[in-house]
Amino acid sequence: MKEANHLAKWQGHIAVLMANTIFGLSVPVTKDLVSNHLTPMGYMFFRCFGAALIFWLIAAFQPKENVARRDLWIIIIGGLLGFAVSQTLAAWSLTYTNPVYFSLIATLTPIAVMLLAAVLIKEKITGVKSIGVLIGIVGALLMVYMGWISGSGRNDVLGITLALGSLLTWAIYLIVTRKVSGKYSSITQMKWMFLVSTIAVLPFAASELPAQPLFNEPSMWVGITEMSFIVLFATVFGFFCIPYAMARLDATVVSVYTNLQPVVASLVAIAIGQDVLTWDKPVAAALVLLSAYIVSRPAASEVVN
């Protein structure tokens, strides 16, 4: 039993690591999409609809899983907060500010989750866990600070405010769906989450859909390729991994991996020639991974149910 639990935790770490690596890649891609190819609500509709279609197709070839009515409401409400609201605010945020500032706000996720979890589900805040979270934040802030001079957006105050709203709704999603995540498969949870999100976003996006810049571009393939990455990887695969990880790890451990997102974005920029390797990037990555290890240790992640 102990070995099985240890293996499950490692599987959870791998899943959330992959998800946040992809989420880190999606930030500059989303910035380009909402700046040049799609409106924020058009972006959200295509993302929700594409993910809902894929998850329902996958579910059609799997055994039917019955969901208790109360749990279904938790999945729906959590999904609306964690995706429809959180990601819409993120898309709007990136139209007003740049990915550096957005990533800076994302590093605050573990603090938000730790504090909200203590209030909502009585998750214990230990001294070790607090230190681990702070180490991860220091690592992410180090990298973001070194890239601070990359420029500013057209309204950074509004963009950062929207990013904070996105952060808080994502933190609530991680907390309220934690116990349900262990009861049902990721496919079952995601098919309902994205169906409801599509229905919620459609009224706000319907009037904009025919006038999307993407449809009037001489070459549509850049926008189509980027949107395909967002739907297939940053949405379907990434959001499949999150409930999978939450069934094996506590909410704060899952949230601490958010600090990898700005680090990943920076490393990718170096690989494609948009940035240069400086001392802070590997140091930041090491600090973030160290924080995940500290927070996830049994003594640090004890939960009061």
Higher pLDDT, 102 or 148: 102
Q: Which of 140-149, 154-163, 236-245, 262-271 has the lowest mean pLDDT?
A: 140-149
User: How open is the CA angle 139-257-125, to the nearest 5 degrees?
Assistant: 90
pLDDT of 39 reads 93
Confidence of residue 305 (pLDDT cuts 50, 70, 90): very low
Higher pLDDT among residues 185 and 265, named by residue: 185
Domain ranges of the chain: 2-296
Q: How far apart are CA 58 and CA 60, in angstroms?
A: 5
E-strand ranges in 188-256 read none
CA quadruple 157, 163, 164, 170: dihedral, nearest 10:
170
